[in-house]
Amino acid sequence: MKHTMFDKLKRVKFNDLYHLSLFLLAWPVSLIYKKRRDSLWLICEYKNEARDNSYYLFKYIAENHKNVDIVYAISPRSRDYERISRVGKYVKFGSFKHWVYYLSALKNISTQKGGKPNAAVCYLFEVKLRILRTKRYFLQHGVTMNNLPYLYYPETYFKTFSTSGYNEYKFICDNFGYPSDVVKKTGMCRFDNLIDDSIQSNKIVIMPTWRQFLYFCKLSKTEFQKTSYYLNWSSLLKCERFQNLIQEKNYEVCFILHRNMSKFSNCFNTPGINIYKWDEIDDFQSILRSAKLLITDYSSLSIDFSYMKKPLIYFQFDLLDFQKAHLHKGYFEYREDGFGPVCESYSEVIDKLIYYGEKNFCNDKVYLDRICSFFLFNDRKNCERNYYSILNS
């Protein structure tokens, strides 16, 4: 969903104006500071998180390239703050010091397009006015499968854009408008930590992604429970056939909503199902590693799961609406390119869960072949490739 400048102006908050003042104060300070610290690398994810590609790259650099002056920006209130403090240097996200570091840094690295002290202020000066020429390196939050206009080169001016798949790389090169040397074949840093440890597990993870058209409408609980999104996912969880299956097979079912849908988590309370809010989970990787099977709709975490060659099921009851109002269709066709069967009803999802259970959760050859042909790499050198890509750009 593309937003006009007027849409963006409507979302300007007092906090953005506060950060504008911090920016104006920090700018002259940074001109002096960068002379004293001219090789600083600043890295982050969201302000409260250290669990994605940036964290794994930060950890890799801190352990293997100790000469690099690298600092992680994170909120001290974050659940992940202690994790970062054990690895290396850090700065309070959104602080005056963070602004000085950001404006001084030789390299600004993030999983997020908005990985900066304040996204609105930086967007204005970096993209619209082109006054700031900060060098920003994009690790991505998830593998790009859809057409994302907000990641086009005129909307970002990234120095590098990391990719993990053959078709992903080609699609971005052909459609996003980046200079030929910007899009990099590196793989995702977090993939280095994906080692299947589900041998003794009986865990099934259900992880739907979010919907912009629901998130921005600011629905009440009652209104949300009338949406197709709620009705379909809750029908699966509450279905008597599904409940009987998980009891009979002693499956541990974990239902995890996307961070932007977490406020509706209590709508899904169902006996026998572990319901998690996004911010209650310290380590998504451990959940994916320990799961036998993943059920999702369009989440890019399905790519992480497939990296381990484990079976997954797509539950897609609203594909056309999703592509129209959330993410525009890209190169990835779920029925032709996907890593698991596509189901349009919860009854089909249950059928496929039974099928994989009877196979002891061994994946089908057709999906294993697709996985092998999708990824640029399947090794434990993704952090290393990203490090050298940034170092040499």
- pLDDT score, position 2: 53
Based on the fold, state whether residues 215 and 103 are members of the same structural domain: no
Q: How far apart are CA 158 and CA 73, in angstroms?
A: 19
Domain encompassing residue 98: 5-187+380-391
Report if residue 198 sits inside a domain.
no
Report if residue 195 sits inside a domain.
no
Q: What is the CATH number of the domain that holds 222?
A: 3.40.50.12580
Based on the fold, state whether residues 38 and 56 are members of the same structural domain: yes
Beta-carbon-side half-sphere exposure of residue 372 (alpha carbons within 13 Å)? 7
Burial 118-141 (b: 16+ CB within 10 A, else e): bebbbbbbbeeeeebebebbbbbb
pTM for the structure as a whole: 0.92
pLDDT in tens, the chain (393 residues): 455 555 555 566 889 999 999 999 999 999 999 999 999 999 999 999 999 999 999 999 999 999 999 999 999 999 999 999 999 999 999 999 999 999 999 999 999 999 999 999 999 999 999 999 999 999 999 999 999 999 999 999 999 999 999 999 999 999 999 999 999 999 999 999 999 999 889 999 999 999 988 888 889 999 999 999 999 999 999 999 999 999 999 999 999 999 899 999 999 999 999 998 887 887 888 999 999 999 999 999 999 999 999 999 999 999 988 988 888 889 999 999 999 999 999 999 999 999 999 999 999 999 999 999 999 999 999 999 999 999 999
Both structure tokens of 149: 């206009």
Based on the fold, state whether residues 164 and 274 are members of the same structural domain: no
Say which residues have a Cβ less than 8 Å from residue 10's Cβ, sequence separation at least 6: none
Both structure tokens of 367: 């999906």
Say which residues have a Cβ less than 8 Å from residue 313's Cβ, sequence separation at least 6: 293, 294, 295, 296, 340, 341, 343, 349, 352, 353, 356
Q: What is the CATH number of the domain that holds 45?
A: 3.40.50.11820
Based on the fold, state whether residues 124 and 268 are members of the same structural domain: no
Model pLDDT for residues 258-298, shown as the tens digit of each residue: 989 999 999 999 999 999 888 788 788 899 999 999 999 99
Question: What does the DSSP assignment read for 200-259?
Answer: T--EEEE-----HHHHTTT--HHHHTTSHHHHHHHHHHH-HHHHHHHHHHT-EEEEE--G
- pLDDT score, position 6: 52
Based on the fold, state whether residues 180 and 215 are members of the same structural domain: no
Residue 240's CB is within 10 A of a number of other CB atoms, namely 7
Residue with tokens 């890209």: 330
Q: At what angle do helices 228-238 and 240-249 cross, to 10 degrees?
A: 40
Report if residue 194 sits inside a domain.
no
For the sheet containing 342-343, what is the strand order?
A: 273-276, 252-256, 203-206, 291-296, 312-315, 342-343
User: Integer distance in angstroms from the first to the last C-alpha of the chain?
Assistant: 31
Based on the fold, state whether residues 216 and 129 are members of the same structural domain: no
Based on the fold, state whether residues 21 and 168 are members of the same structural domain: yes
Report if residue 92 sits inside a domain.
yes
Report if residue 329 sits inside a domain.
yes
Q: How far apart are CA 193 and CA 57, in angstroms?
A: 11
- pLDDT score, position 278: 81
- pLDDT score, position 168: 98
CA-to-CA dists, residue 14 to 21, 111, 361, angstroms? 11, 25, 51
Report if residue 170 sits inside a domain.
yes
Report if residue 273 sits inside a domain.
yes
Based on the fold, state whether residues 150 and 208 are members of the same structural domain: no
Report if residue 350 sits inside a domain.
yes
Based on the fold, state whether residues 137 and 256 are members of the same structural domain: no
Asked if 70 and 61 touch (Cβ cutoff 8 Å), the reply is yes
- pLDDT score, position 4: 57
Burial 353-390 (b: 16+ CB within 10 A, else e): beebbeeebebeeebeebbeebbbbbeeebbbbbbebb
Asked if 139 and 110 touch (Cβ cutoff 8 Å), the reply is yes
Both structure tokens of 82: 């202690």
Number of domains comprising the chain: 2
Based on the fold, state whether residues 208 and 341 are members of the same structural domain: yes
Based on the fold, state whether residues 149 and 286 are members of the same structural domain: no
Based on the fold, state whether residues 101 and 207 are members of the same structural domain: no
Q: How far apart are CA 378 and CA 368, in angstroms?
A: 13
Model pLDDT for residues 56-92, shown as the tens digit of each residue: 999 999 999 999 999 999 999 999 999 999 999 999 9
